[in-house]
Amino acid sequence: MSVLATIDWIVILIYFVIILGIAWWVIRQSSDTSDDYFLAGRNLGWFVVGASIFASNIGSEHLVGLAGSGATDGVALAHYELQAWCLLVLGWLLAPFYIRSNVFTMPEFLERRFSETSRWLLSIISLVAYVLTKVAVGIFAGGIVFGVLLPEVNIMGLNSFWVGSILMIVLTGFYTMLGGLRAVAYTEAIQTVILVLGAIMVTWYGLDALGGWSELRRIAGSEMFNLWKPLVPEGVQGTWAPIKTDTEMAWYFNGNYPWLGMLFCAPIIGLWYWCTDQYIVQRILSAANLTEARRGTIAAAFFKLLPVFIFIIPGIITFALASSGKIDSLSQELLDSNGQIITSKAQQVFPLLVATVLPAGIRGIVVAGLLAALMSSLAGVFNACSTLFTMDLYSKFRKNASESELVRVGRIATAVMVVIGLLWIPVIQGSRGLYDYLQSVQSYLAPPIFVVFFFGVFSKRLNAQGAIAALVVGFIMGLFRLFIDTPVMLSEGFAYEKGSFFWIINNIFFQYYSLLIFLVSGLVMIVVSYNTPPPAFEKVADLTLGARSDEQRAEVKASYGRIDIIMTVLVLVLILAAYLYFTG
């Protein structure tokens, strides 16, 4: 039986009319040129850039996975969400190089800095990463939401999970394939507003049902609000020293987000994602100029502070409502006989809270917000995939391809990526949690990309041979770990023989394995580069910090003012305040 009332359906219908209407208007204004289709004509303003970055980021892993992690681990994963400072690194450090290079994609920038081969490698790695993470996770989460809100739906033998997954693809794919990044960016600006308002309502009504913030702190306990204590092995007081247990090295093998991984691995993944990933950076490449691009990243940084309070906190609220017995239906659905959250049910926390505590009408607005997040996240990755495939791979083989041909191929590439993503859903269904799945796979694939971009921008001595070697070695290490993990994810009863080589690799905590990839990739890049000839100056001019021209320096200096500095400092102060509040 549907939990949605008639007024809810009316609100949702109005949402779809608005989104599709905006998309149709944008499509009619667009031209069939690669610049317009893939980068929105490079004339977006700062608010659209910032809202688009945020909406692309806030997708299924937050609505379904992050709220679920809040119910099981409290604010532990807020570490990832408080990395808004990474956006400031993008706006202040890397955006000047990206905007000046006038590229379409991140692999294209890598070609300018290193070589054509490095461009192809990064394009392939990025496409694989999108299939394994963003595409499939987005589709899967759409199914989770529909499964909770419309549990009785069954069309041609397909249950609500698959109906929801397919519906997300069809609706999102429609305007993404037709309108390109311009349609994606403008719809995401509207979707950001709907999403934030809807999520705030969930938090508000959830706290009201529970009895307020103080009651939440009392029921959930102080550990759920401590960024660091949940990261320490059970039975050990808060400490910064590695801890060994009798059975295994808790600081080395699988644990519950140990501090060492959060301190050293999380920033690497954050900087890769926010500063080098096509999925995000494509938005600033579409900005009208460097000033609008930087201000867009600052705006996105402010938005990025919200998920802790509008996704993680609702997860904790749901846990408190269930464990306190204040809402019996939540207790029966989420808790086991010992009163603990059932891990496999944690992914349903946010939609269950929506279905339980919100009144009719308000529930429709929030569901529209859920759909907005799912659709905007999918739309962003669809467009990023089509841009990478078309501009980095297809255009290399078809050097004389017309503008309309490139746009057509981009649309076909989007459809193909959707199909591949659907085929990967069973792997995610078997994983230990949506947010865990996303973080682990990204952690296997991101380190070598981080290395070649950041090392390449900071050092003009590192060359193409070093970059290629780092990408190849790092990518092989990441795929090897994923190859070992996949059978365990797919089969609940599958396990490697304890003590075997595969068992050791599978049981190394994913953040530590990610750090290993980073260290090996960085060492390989440096060693290979210093044992081969240095790059020519024209290869690094205006693409590294040590080879900037006077013209570029002047251009950067003229692109910001006092307000940009003040807003940047304010973001940093708010991040620090959040860390101080959630540490105790």
pLDDT confidence of residue 254: 37
**In angstroms, what CA-CA distances link 23 with 42, 101, 188, 404?**
18, 30, 10, 20
For the chain, give me the number of helices (H) and strands (E)? 31, 2
Tell me if residue 159 falls in helix, strand or coil: strand
pLDDT band at 236 (very low <50, low <70, confident <90, very high): very low
DSSP 290-329: HHHHHHHHHHHHHHHTSHIIIIIHHHHHHHHHHHHTSSHH
pLDDT confidence of residue 172: 74
Tell me if residue 44 falls in helix, strand or coil: strand
Domain that holds residue 339: 6-581
Any idea which of 158-172, 188-202, 428-442 has the lowest mean pLDDT? 428-442
Burial of 580 (0-12, 13-18, 19+ CB in 10 A): exposed
DSSP 252-297: TBS-SS-HHHHHHHHHHHHHHHHHH-HHHHHHHHTBSSHHHHHHHH
pLDDT confidence of residue 92: 94
pLDDT confidence of residue 219: 86
Cα(441)–Cα(447) distance, integer angstroms: 11
> Residue 10 above 80 pLDDT?
yes
pLDDT confidence of residue 449: 92
Any idea which of 113-122, 263-272, 333-342, 468-477 has the lowest mean pLDDT? 333-342
- Mean pLDDT computed over 220-245: 54
Residue 306 in any domain: the answer is yes
- Mean pLDDT computed over 22-50: 72
pLDDT confidence of residue 415: 76
**In angstroms, what CA-CA distances link 542 with 92, 108, 288, 446?**
15, 15, 20, 25
> Residue 203 above 70 pLDDT?
yes
Q: What is the CA radius of gyration of the chain?
A: 23
DSSP single-letter state for residue 74: G
pLDDT confidence of residue 245: 40
pLDDT confidence of residue 314: 87
pLDDT confidence of residue 344: 67
Residue 255 in any domain: the answer is yes
pLDDT band at 39 (very low <50, low <70, confident <90, very high): low
pLDDT confidence of residue 194: 80
Beta bridge partners of 335: 341
DSSP 340-387: PBPGGGGGGHHHHHHHHHPPTTHHHHHHHHHHHHHHHHHHHHHHHHHH
Letter for the amino acid at 512? Y
Residue environment code for 224-251, b if the CB has 16+ CB neighbours within 10 A, otherwise e:
bbbbbbbbbbeeeeeeeeeeeeeeeebb
Given a contact cutoff of 8 angstroms between Cβ atoms, the answer to whether 60 and 141 are in contact is: yes
**pLDDT tens track for 508-564:** 888 889 999 999 999 999 999 999 999 988 888 888 888 788 888 888 899 999 999
- Mean pLDDT computed over 134-140: 69
- Tell me how many domains the chain contains: 1
pLDDT confidence of residue 86: 92
Give, in degrees to the nearest 5, the angle at Cα 338 between 332 and 343: 70
Total number of residues shown for the chain: 584
> Residue 52 above 80 pLDDT?
yes
- Mean pLDDT computed over 442-466: 91
pLDDT band at 467 (very low <50, low <70, confident <90, very high): very high
Q: How many CA atoms lie within 13 A of 87 on its CB side?
A: 33
pLDDT confidence of residue 390: 83
pLDDT confidence of residue 40: 58
pLDDT confidence of residue 31: 62
Cα(131)–Cα(52) distance, integer angstroms: 21
Q: What is the CATH number of the domain that holds 339?
A: 1.20.1730.10
DSSP single-letter state for residue 227: S
Residue 1 in any domain: the answer is no
State pTM to two decimals: 0.80
Residue 248 in any domain: the answer is yes
**pLDDT tens track for 337-385:** 777 777 667 777 887 888 888 888 888 887 777 777 777 777 777 777 8
Cα(454)–Cα(268) distance, integer angstroms: 10
**In angstroms, what CA-CA distances link 193 with 66, 80, 115, 299?**
20, 22, 41, 13
pLDDT confidence of residue 229: 56
pLDDT band at 244 (very low <50, low <70, confident <90, very high): very low
Any idea which of 108-122, 171-185, 475-489 has the lowest mean pLDDT? 171-185
**In angstroms, what CA-CA distances link 481 with 131, 431, 501, 567?**
17, 15, 12, 41
pLDDT confidence of residue 130: 77
**In angstroms, what CA-CA distances link 280 with 183, 296, 300, 385, 388?**
16, 12, 11, 12, 13
Cα(329)–Cα(335) distance, integer angstroms: 10
Residue 540 in any domain: the answer is yes
Cα(406)–Cα(31) distance, integer angstroms: 13
> Residue 148 above 70 pLDDT?
no
pLDDT confidence of residue 37: 63
Residue 474 in any domain: the answer is yes
Q: How far apart are the first and last CA of the chain?
A: 44
Cα(431)–Cα(510) distance, integer angstroms: 13
- Nearest alpha carbon to residue 358 among 227, 201, 515: 201
> Residue 232 above 70 pLDDT?
no
CA dihedral of 347, 350, 353, 355, whole degrees rounded to 10: -90
Given a contact cutoff of 8 angstroms between Cβ atoms, the answer to whether 275 and 66 are in contact is: no
Cα(553)–Cα(91) distance, integer angstroms: 15
Residue 74 in any domain: the answer is yes
The CA-based diameter of the chain, rounded to the nearest angstrom, is 70
Which phi and psi (to 5°) does residue 417 adopt? -65, -35
Residue 384 in any domain: the answer is yes
Cα(226)–Cα(544) distance, integer angstroms: 40
Q: Give the mean pLDDT of the chain.
A: 79
pLDDT confidence of residue 187: 74
> Residue 29 above 80 pLDDT?
no
**pLDDT tens track for 289-335:** 999 999 999 999 998 888 888 888 888 888 888 888 788 778 777 77
> Residue 233 above 60 pLDDT?
no
Residue 503 CA to chain centroid, in angstroms? Answer: 29
